[in-house]
Structure 1
Amino acid sequence: MSETQQARCTVIYADDEELARKYFARSAGSDYEVLLASDADEAMSILRREGARVAILVTDFRMPGRHGGDLLRQVSQEYPHIVRILVTAYADKDALQDAVNSGEVFRILEKPLSVGTVREVLASAATASIPRSK
Structure 2
Amino acid sequence: MTNAFLEHVNFTVADPAKTAAQLCNWFGWKIRWHGPSKDNGTTYHVGNDTSYVAIYSTGTSAETTENSYATRGGLNHIGIVVDDLDATEKKILAGGYKTHNHADYEPGRRFYFNDENGIEFEVVSYH
- Determine which structure has more spread, i.e. the larger CA radius of gyration: 2
TM (normalized to structure 2)? 0.31
Higher strand share goes to which structure? Answer: 2
Q: Relative contact order (alpha carbons < 8 A, sep ≥ 6): 1 or 2 greater? A: 1
Please report the TM-score for the alignment, with normalisation by the length of structure 1: 0.30
